[in-house]
Structure 1
C-alpha cells in the first residue's frame, strides 16, 4: 500500500474558505446551526452575525431537539445570553479576546462550571452546584466562549453508552432508537445535531472517541497531560479532556484555548503547548503509517472493516507510506480493566458505603468489582502496563501513525449491546469497543474521524494514533483526510 504521491497542503474545508455571506436579519436557523467556530469568528469580524443572534438561535434549537435527544442535562439560557451580550459588547469596542470570543461551547457534566449543576450523571449529585470552574471551563471563559449548558453522561462516565438514573437515555441523531455511544454521548449527539460547534468531552477509555465515531463527528484525545484536568470528576487515572467538533480545525482551535500546564494538576505537561491551528497550514509530508485491520484479533463488523480499509487506502493516496502492520503486544484490555476497577473503587469507596441504593446498577457493579481486587492482581496489571507501554514505544520508533478501526460496530439500538460480532461471541459490555482504551493506558494522542456510512446510513469512523507528544502530526493527517473526503455536509435527518 506504499504510495509516493505528493503530499497535499491543508487549506481547510471548503465552507471554511468561503465568506459567510449572511446577515443577522436573514440567517436561518439551519444556516447558523451548521457553521463552524472558524466561520462564526469570521462572521463576527465581518459584522454579518452577532454572538447574541447565534446564541439565541442555538438555544431555540436545543429547546426543540433536546426532548428527543436528551443531549443536555442542563441548559443555561440566562448565563449563555449574558455571556453572549458581553462578547458582543467586547466586539463592538474592538476588544475581541481572540478567535473564540462569542463562540458557543458545551461542557460535559463531569466538568465543573461555577454556578451550574455538576451531577456527574448521578442521582446522588442531582442538586450539587459547582462552586468553581474546572481548568478547561476557566480557559474557555477566558477565551470568550459562550457556555450553552452541560451535556449528558452516564453516571461518573462509567459506560460506553449514555444512560443514567437522571432521565431518559441520550439518543443518536442519525437514528434516535440507537445509542450515541459514551461516555461523552451528550457532547457527540449535540455536535452531530448542530447544537453548537464546540463540545468538551472526557476520555478515560474511549469516551470521546466512541461517541464521536457513532455520531459521525470528530473526536480528539491529546497526549496525556497536554490538557490539565483540575475540576473533573469520573475516572481520574487515565482520563483526558478534549474536543468533539464537526471539523478538525475547530478541534485545533479549542486545543489552542484549553491546552497547557496547571499547577493544580501534577500530571499536566510542564511545557508550553504548540499552536495547533497554525500548524495545520503546513503540508502533511510523507509520514509512515501502519494499517492494523484487526487489532488484538478482536472481531470487527465486515462493513466497518471495509470502510476502515478504504480509509487506509485514502491515506496512501494523500502521500502517507502505508503498510499493513501492528504492534506485537499482549491484549491490553484486561490490564486497563483491572487498573480502572481499582482506581474507581479507591475514589468511590465512601460513595458506595453511603449511597449504594442510589447508585446506578452498573456503578455498583463497577465499585464492587474493584473492592474484590487483590493487591497481587493490581500489581500484575501494573507490570503488564509497563510491558505494553514499552512495546508501543518500540513500535512507534518505526511508524508515525497507526490506522485502525475506532469501534467494532456502528451504533446499535439502545439497551441492545451486541454479544456477537462477525460471527464471534463477544462480551456485551465491551466487545463493540475493543480499540480505544489501550491508548488511555499509553497516553498517546488519538483521534477518530468519519470515514463513511453503513448500508443502513449509520456513521463509521477510523481511529488514528500518533507518537507521544505529536498532536501536530496527528491533526495534520486528520485535516488532510477531511479535505480529501469531507464529511460535514452530510447531516442526520433529525437535525
Structure 2
C-alpha cells in the first residue's frame, strides 16, 4: 500500500519506528497533490519547501532521541482561515489576497508543536460563508467522488484534500455545519468539538459565538488524535473552556455502544430528504440497535426554527466582524489615488473585495441589528437559540447521544443551487442546532445513496464536553460498517 493510502495513525507509527522518514511521507503527499489537485482545487497554497523543512526537523528531532507525539511527521492540510505567519491567509476572499499575517493562530501553533507537517492552505467558501465551496474567490473545489459535484462547505478544500488522498488529515471550522456537511458528502469523518473546546485565536472570524475549529480524517481514530493535538484551554481566547480535553482518543479506541441510549431526532426527516439518505440513516440506526444500543425516538420541537434563527444570528455577527476589512490597515485597497476620501476608498475596496454571498450576509446582519429591528429579529433569534439549548438538555436527560442524517441530500452538482440561497442554506438543516447550543457533533460515513452512488453521513450529537461520546459511537459504527463492507467506504476517490 502506498504511503498516501495509510491512515495518520499508521504513518505516525511508521515514522516513529524508523521504517520511513517524515521526509518520505511528506514527499509522497506532495507528489499526490501535484498529480490530482489541478482537477480538485483543494489547495489555495502549497508550501512544498516549507513542508519538507518541517519534515526534516521532525526526522532530526527523532534521530536526536527526542520523544515526539503520535502524529509527528504526519502531513496535514490547513484551512485557509487560520492565520499562518509563513504562508498567505486569504479566507478565500479577494480582500485578503496575498495577505501574510504576523502571527500563527493557536491551532496552527499547536499543529507545529505536535510535529504535524503543514502541506499548505485549503480552499473554502469566502470567509467560511457557504455550503459548497463555490463562494471562494479562487474557484470552486470539486468532490473527488464526482468532479462535477460540490465537496460541501465551507471547508470543502479540507474535505476534498483528505478524500482524494492528498493529505491524511486536515483542519476545518464549523459555524453551522462546515465540517460535518463536507465530511458527509465526501465520505470521510468530520468533528465539531464542543464550542470553546478548541481555540478561536487567530481564526478569521465569521460568527464569533458559533465558529469552532475541528478535525477531518478518513477514520474516527485519526480524527480523535488530531482533535486531541490542537484542543484545550487557550488564554488568548476569552471563550476557551478551562476543562480538560475529553478522552477522545481512548473513546475512539474503545468504540462500543452496548447499553448506550441513542435518540433519533423526530424533526429530522420527511419532505426534502433524499430517499437514499433516509435509507442509509435507517440502516445505521438498525446497526446501532444490533450492537446493543437502546434506540428511542426523541422530539426536539425547537429544532425546526434553528435555520431561520441561525441566519439572523450568524450574519449579525458577521456584519460586525467583517467591518475590520476596510482597505485601511491590511489586504486589498482600491481607489487610493490621493483624490478620494477614506470613506470612498472603503466603499470601493469592499465592493471589489467581497463576493456576493458575503455582501448578502453583511447586509442581512446589518439590517437585523438596526434600530427598530434588533428586538424583532436578532433578539427573537437569540430566544430561539435558548429554546434549542433547552431541547438538547431535555433530550440528554433521556438519552446519551442523538443521531440524524448529517445533511438531507448527497453532494449536488456544481452550479445547481448557486442562484438559490435558500436551497443552499437547507444543506445545513440538520447541523445548525448543535452550533447554536455549542454541543459536540460528528459525521461518520454510513454508506452510499442508491440514486447516485454518493456518500451519506450519520450525525452523532452529544452534550457539551461529551465529545468522547461522539467518538465512541462513531468508532463502533465505523467498525461495524467496515466489517459489512469489507473495508472503509473510501477505498479510492472514484473519479480520480
TM-score (structure 2 length as normaliser): 0.89
Give the superposition deviation at 1:278: 2.5
In the alignment, structure 1 segments of 5+ residues that lack a partner are: 1-29, 421-425
Aligned residue runs from structure 1 range 61-72, under 5 A: 61-72=32-43
Q: Measure how far apart 1:403 and its partner are.
A: 1.1
CA displacement, residues 71-124 of structure 1 (integer Å, 9 cap, x when unaligned): 000000011000000111112222132111111111100001121100000011
- Bigger drift between 481-490 and 243-252 goes to 481-490
Give the distance between the partners of 2:363 and 2:106, measured in 1 at CA. 31
Name the counterpart of 1:309: 282
Q: Cα offset for 1:489?
A: 4.9
Q: Does 273-282 or 329-338 show the bigger shift? A: 273-282
Deviation at 1:349, TM superposition (A): 3.2
Distance in 2, matches of 1:476 and 1:394, equals 22
Correspondence for 1:430: 425
1:87-486 pair list within 5 angstroms: 87-164=58-135, 166-235=137-206, 236-282=208-254, 283-292=256-265, 294-295=267-268, 299-329=272-302, 330-349=304-323, 351=325, 353=347, 354-373=349-368, 374-376=373-375, 377-417=377-417, 427-455=422-450, 456-486=452-482
Whole-Å separation in 2 of the counterparts to 1:431 and 1:246: 25
Contact 2:12 2:74 in 1 (8 A): yes
User: Do 2:137 and 2:355's aligned partners in 1 also have CA atoms closer than 8 Å?
Assistant: no
SS at match of 2:281: helix
Alpha-carbon separation, structure 2, partners of 1:210 and 1:256: 21
User: In the TM superposition, what whole-angstrom CA distance separates every residue of 1:166-209 from its partner, at most 9, and x where no partner exists?
Assistant: 33210000000000010000000011001111100000000001
* 1:296 and 1:331 in contact (8 A); partners too: no
- Unmatched runs of 5 consecutive residues or more in structure 2: 327-346, 483-487
Counterparts of 2:397 and 2:104 in 1: how far apart (Å)? 39
Which sits farther off after the overlay, 351-360 or 313-322?
Answer: 351-360
Equivalent position of 1:6 in the other structure: none
User: Distance in 2 between the 1:389 and 1:296 partners?
Assistant: 20
Q: Report the Cα distance in structure 2 between the residues aligned to 1:335 and 1:166, rounded to whole angstroms.
A: 27
Tell me the number of residue pairs that the alignment of Structure 1 and Structure 2 aligns.
Answer: 461
Whole-angstrom CA distance in 1 between matches of 2:97 and 2:48? 19
SS in 1 for 2:305: coil
1:86 equivalent in alignment to 2:60? no
User: How far is 1:385 from its partner?
Assistant: 1.4
SS, match of residue 443 in structure 2: strand
Deviation at 1:142, TM superposition (A): 0.4
8 Å CA contact 1:120–1:234 kept in 2: the answer is no
RMSD value, Cα:
1.8
What SS does the corresponding residue of 2:464 show, helix, strand or coil?
A: coil
Name the SS for the 1:464 alignment partner.
strand
Cα 1:161/1:281, change in 2 over 3 Å: closer
Secondary structure of the residue aligned to 2:238 is coil
Q: Secondary structure at the match of 1:451?
A: strand
Compared with structure 1, are the counterparts of its residues 232 and 46 closer, same or farther at alpha carbon in structure 2 (3 Å cutoff)? same
Are the aligned partners of 1:247 and 1:488 in contact in 2 as well (CA < 8 Å)?
no
Distance 1:461 1:419, change over 3 A: farther
Cα distance in 1 between the residues matched to 2:490 and 2:188: 11
2:112 partner SS: helix
The residue number in structure 1 matching 2:332 is none
Q: Confirm or deny: 8 A CA contact 2:155 2:179 kept in the other structure.
A: yes
In 2, the alpha carbon distance for the partners of 1:381 and 1:280 equals 36
Distance 2:253 2:352 in 1: 53
Alpha-carbon distance change, 419 to 111 in structure 1, aligned in 2, over 3 angstroms: closer
Cα shift at 1:299: 2.3
- Local SS of the residue matching 1:332: helix
Q: Are 1:419 and 1:431, in contact at CA under 8 Å, matched by a contact in 2?
A: no
Are 1:295 and 1:326, in contact at CA under 8 Å, matched by a contact in 2?
no
Equivalent pair of 1:406/1:463 in contact (CA under 8 Å): yes
Deviation at 1:438, TM superposition (A): 1.2
Q: State whether residues 119 and 127 of structure 1, in contact with CA within 8 Å, keep that contact through their aligned partners in structure 2.
A: yes
Provide the rounded CA distance (Å) in 1 between the counterparts of 2:246 and 2:466: 10
Q: Deviations over 1:255-311 (max 9, x none)?
A: 111111111111110122133212334444411011236527662111111111111
Question: In structure 2, do the counterparts of structure 1 residues 207 and 298 end up closer, same or farther at CA, with 3 Å as the change threshold?
Answer: farther
* SS of the residue 2:430 aligns to: coil
Distance in 1 (alpha carbons) for counterparts of 2:448 and 2:253: 29
Deviations 1:121-155 (A, max 9, x none): 00110110021111011111001110000010111
Separation of aligned partners in 2, 1:200 and 1:297 = 32
